[in-house]
Amino acid sequence: AVLLWIKAKRDNMRLKSRLKVIEKEVENLRSIPIKGD
């Protein structure tokens, strides 16, 4: 059970770091002026 918990925690960290990267990419896209806005 402990090993499963550690694995789940590691996967959680990976997901969080991926979310941060996606958020940065979204911010970069938002900072680009959209034509016709």
The DSSP secondary structure of the chain, one letter per residue, reads -HHHHHHHHHHHHHHHHHHHHHHHHHHHHHHSPPTT-
Q: Which pLDDT score is estimated for 33? A: 78
Whole-model pTM over 0.75: no
Query: What would the pLDDT profile of 1-37 be if each residue is shown by its tens digit?
Result: 899 999 999 999 999 999 999 999 999 988 887 776 6
**What CA–CA distance (Å, rounded) separates 3 from 10?**
11
User: What residue type is assigned to position 23 of the chain?
Assistant: E
Cα–Cα distance measured from residue 21 to residue 1, given in angstroms and rounded to the nearest whole number: 31
Q: How far apart are CA 23 and CA 20, in angstroms?
A: 5
Q: What is the CA radius of gyration of the chain?
A: 17
